[in-house]
Amino acid sequence: MALCAFLGLGVMGYPMAGHLRSAGHDVSVWNRTASKAVSWAGEHGGRSAETIEDAVTNADFVFACLGDDPDVRSVAEKAIPAMKPGAVFVDHTTASAELARELDQDARDAGIGFIDGPVSGGQAGAENGQLTIMCGGEADTFDQVAPVMQAYAKAMSLIGPAGAGQLAKMVNQICIAGIVQGLSEGLHFAKRSGLDPELVIGAISKGAAQSWQMENRWETMVAGKFDYGFAIDWMRKDLRITLDEARRNGAKLPVTALVDQFYGDVQDMGGNRWDTSSLIARLEGGDE
């Protein structure tokens, strides 16, 4: 059993912290809205902390899952100095690689370990303990924390030094953006051609066109139901970080940049909280 702290109890952090507790770890939680931490503690039997410092002081491992770079900075500035020597800070937020490198240096200066560990799998993955974690940091630090993260992971990989986990998550989002747009166009084309989408998907889903998105989202996309995963507001945040990084490293991402604009169109349709598969709604317009 490890002494853990979890900072940030949103749709991802709340169940992730719960899995830590279910795995037998001693967990203290903190959330900006304190009532959510109190509710979590009542549900899972852990401890709600009034301050970040109180949550992390005795923890062996501190996990954070927050919104964006400014949120992580504001929390880490309080958490890292309060942590005991030899502890490990893991940031599960999808944030910039630049921030990960800054936090890694801050952690080194404080005598603690750091891992940037953004996750993939969405809310369902968090709730089911089936997240994929892409990690950046030192190998010995990763080996130290990996058995604890196993509570909510189906797979985890150390990609490279600090920042590499965030860069790998950017690759993940680049691939998803293109795949979802392609699937949206394919389904839209099939319907306009008078084809039965179920028959088409049955024919092509076992071949080269197959993808997780096709297997798991085609039916809800055709039905116009978009409340099954990662919200567009979050995806656009991730793509902003990705495109900013591409401008720094010189990578050419024309499709990603275009799909980001398409997601903006869906936001203009009122789809801010729709999941990423809602790209098809932009194509269908008033067809349904």
Active site amino acids: 169
DSSP assignment letter at 60: S
Report d(CA 85, CA 234) in Å as an integer: 34
Match 């109890």 to its residue by tokens: 9
SS3 141: helix
Q: Which candidate, 274, 234, 282, 275, places its Cα nearest to that of 258? A: 282
Q: What's the Cα-to-Cα distance from 136 to each of 32, 92, 131, 191, rounded to whole Å?
A: 26, 11, 16, 43
* Radius of gyration for the chain, computed over Cα atoms and rounded to the nearest angstrom: 20
Q: Which amino acid is at 234?
A: W
Q: What are 26's strand-pairing partners?
A: 3
Q: Which candidate, 65, 136, 70, places its Cα nearest to that of 100? A: 136
Within its chain, how far is the Cα of 132 from the centroid?
9
Match 């401008």 to its residue by tokens: 247
Q: Which candidate, 33, 34, 35, 7, places its Cα nearest to that of 20? A: 7
Q: Which amino acid is at 288?
A: E
